[in-house]
Each structure stands twice: as structure tokens, then as C-alpha cells.
Amino acid sequence: MATRIDGKKVAADIKADLAERVERLKAQGVVPGLGTLLVGEDPGSVKYVAGKHADCKEIGVNSVKRELPADASFEDIANAVKELNEDPACNGFIVQLPLPKGIDQNAIIDLIDPAKDADGMHPYNLGELVLHVRGDISTPLPCTPRGVIELLKAYDIDLNGKEVCVLGRGITIGRTIGLMLTRNAVNATVTLCHTGTKDVVDHMRRADVIVAAMGSAGFVTPDKIKEGAVLVDVGVSRVFDEEAGRYRIKGDVDKACYDKASAYTPNPGGVGPMTRAMLLANVVEMAERSL
């Protein structure tokens, strides 16, 4: 029977450890702080940011909130980023995406102090990840890829020398997880597949591990994987459930694959909780580096 990889449990264990580290920091006069910049009132973004601050409260991290209206100008947003860069109560922060139409998101991300980049997605930090293939990294790491690796590690799934097929080339997971998986510390061999990949199913059938991050509901089916593969489902799609009469969130991996796999992450309840836990880990590590 395939192992169900429980992201909620692993994330809870990580947060418990972080809470202890936060207490030790406070004893040394340092209170870690996570900042968020929310522009507009997109329901998904509002909910996401609220979840971040609930996580902070759970482990004793200070919350620093910045909110702007949907019609905020580029200059307004840039000034808010500058304030967070300079705020000593904020060790790290995120700019909640997407930003309103007409705002250059990349230009805003570029304004973040790399040392306060809680998402680990600033070009400087991604560059550090590229350069430091062999040694330790002291810059923030991308949260979702880090969460995937920590999740597999928690279940003693060794990636050393394994063939990993990544489906999707988005910057949040597809392109960045390859950088992390091919580091010496992990040592996997990665094939990055995307819409231009020929014979994508052949790549999938060879893979020991599939990381699905396409946003294509149920794309990974039993006929496309080999026996005993490890399946990591990062995809998110809204699919209308005719029986229930409402939309549901569905991952990229068809549940029929579970019987053929050796291990799998459920969706939801797999990678999602780990992404949130890794954001907290980045902030706590930033505070620890400040000592």
C-alpha cells in the first residue's frame, strides 16, 4: 500500500520546532517579525495573507501588515516596500501577488531587500541558489520547493541519484525546484517538462519521482507512471463538481494513481501546509542570522 505523505503533520512538527526557536530568540532580545504587503481586496489574497498572520500568532512571530487600495500607484507600492525594508520589527516580508493590472510585479519584487525576501524569490537570492551548488546556503530559499524536499525527507524518501520529472516551468515551483534538487545536498537528476516537451509521457514513465505543478487537473494518470513512483502533487485547478453543484480544488494527480505509487502527497493537505511552514522557517532563520 502506498504511503500517504501527510503535509499537515510534518508542517505541525516544523512549527513546533520553530516556536521553540522563537522563544530562544526572544530570550536574547530578538522578536522575529513577518511583514505582508497586500494591495487590493482579492478574496483569495486576503484569505492567504490572513493565514500567514494566523501562522505567525501560532508560533509567536510578530505580524507587520501593510495594506493598500486596489488603485494604488506603482509609487505607492514602492514606498510601502521601502518602509518594510527599513522596518526593524520586520525580519522578512512578502508582497502578495498578483498585484493589480498595470503594475510591474517584477519591478516591485526587485525593490525588496534580498535579506528580507521571505519568499526566497528575489533575483539575488535565486542567483545565490544557482551559484552555491555544493556548500551551505545562507540566503532565503523558495518556500514551495523547500517544502517539497523537507516533506520527502521527513518520510525518509532518499532523492540521491533518483530521476525526478518536474511537470511545469513556473517560477514558483517548476523552475526553482530543479535548482534545489540538483544541489549536492540532494543530488537528484531532474527533467523539466513543459508545454513544448515532446513525448512527455516517456519522461514521466522513467521517473522515480514526479513533481506535478502544471495546474492541469488529473493530468497524471496510472498509465503515465511506473510502478512504485513517488508522486508530489503541487497543481491547483478549480473544477466544477456537477454532483455537488459547486467548484472544487483538484490537483494534477489523478487519485487512481495512488494504488500504483509507493508514496504520494494528497491535495489538499500535502505540499500546501509545507509552503506556509517554510515561510515561517525563512523568517525565523533571518532573525537568527541577525544575532
Catalytic residues, by residue number, are 52, 96, 119
Contact 268, 277 (CB under 8 A): no
Q: Judge whether 170 is annotated as a binding position.
A: yes
DSSP state, residue 162: -
251 is in an annotated binding site: no
Residue 272 annotated as binding site: no
Nearest to 210 by CA among 179, 234, 239: 234
Q: Are strands 237-241 and 246-250 parallel, antiparallel or unpaired?
A: antiparallel
CA–CA gap between residue 194 and residue 154 (Å, rounded): 28
- Torsion of the alpha carbons at 167, 173, 174 and 175, rounded to the nearest 10: -170
Residue bearing cell 512538527: 13
Closest listed residue to residue 273, CA positions, set 2, 4, 15: 15
The region, left, alpha or beta by phi > 0 then psi within -120 to 50, assigned to residue 132 is beta
Contacts of 138 (CB under 8 A, 6+ apart): 289
Burial class (CB in 10 A: 0-12, 13-18, 19+), 236: middle
Encode burial over 117-132: b for 16+ CB neighbours within 10 A, e otherwise. bbbbbbeebbebbeee
Identify residue 161 by its one-letter amino acid code: G
Q: Is 215 annotated as a binding residue?
A: no
Q: For Cα atoms 264, 266, 270, give the angle at the middle one, nearest 5 degrees.
A: 95
**From the annotation, which residues make up the binding site?**
168-170, 236
**From the annotation, which residues make up the binding site for NADP(+)?**
168-170, 236
